[in-house]
């Protein structure tokens, strides 16, 4: 899935009842001295994880489909640019885009990203 602003791509997959996503591409034009394949998770608060490469890391996990609300809920999303993990939910809008909302405790305090299937 490609983010609406074309700055990252994720692969979404199901493991058991849970949906997850891993980072497969991101725009690395902000720093030409360090290519995408070599970038590390330096802002992760866990010192042991700061040496892992960003490509391939799990950026979303725990999403479980709720048929009543027609959305995936109870997930977590990781923002490698800040090293923070947020609560997350996702749904498919009327245009067929996957919308993922990362938030802090309450859904109104968050940010939504839109993804299209590639």
pLDDT tens digits along 47-56: 999 999 999 9
Write down the pLDDT at residue 4: 65
Looking at per-residue pLDDT, the higher value among 83 and 29 belongs to 83
Q: Is 6 left (phi over 0), alpha (psi -120 to 50) or beta?
A: left
**105-114 pLDDT per residue, tens:** 888 899 999 9
Q: How far apart are CA 6 and CA 4, in angstroms?
A: 5
pTM: 0.88
Task: For residue 57, give the 3-state DSSP assignment.
Answer: coil
Residues in contact with 80: Cβ distance below 8 Å, sequence separation at least 6, in sequence order: 23, 41, 43, 44, 54, 57, 59
Residue 117's pLDDT band, with cuts at 50, 70 and 90, is confident
Cα distance between residue 56 and residue 24, in whole Å: 6
Domains and CATH numbers, the chain: 2-116 (2.40.128.520)
């Amino acid at each position: 899935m490609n983010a609406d602003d074309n700055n990252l791509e994720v692969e979404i997959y199901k493991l058991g009842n849970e949906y997850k996503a891993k980072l497969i591409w991101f725009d690395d034009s902000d720093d030409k001295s360090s290519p995408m394949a070599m970038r590390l998770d330096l802002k992760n608060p866990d010192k042991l994880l700061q040496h892992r490469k960003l490509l391939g890391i799990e950026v979303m996990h725990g999403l479980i489909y709720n048929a009543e609300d027609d959305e995936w809920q109870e997930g977590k999303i990781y923002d490698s640019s800040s090293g923070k993990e947020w609560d997350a939910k996702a749904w498919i809008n009327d245009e067929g885009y996957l919308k993922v909302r990362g938030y802090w405790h309450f859904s109104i305090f968050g940010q939504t990203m839109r993804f299209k299937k590639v």
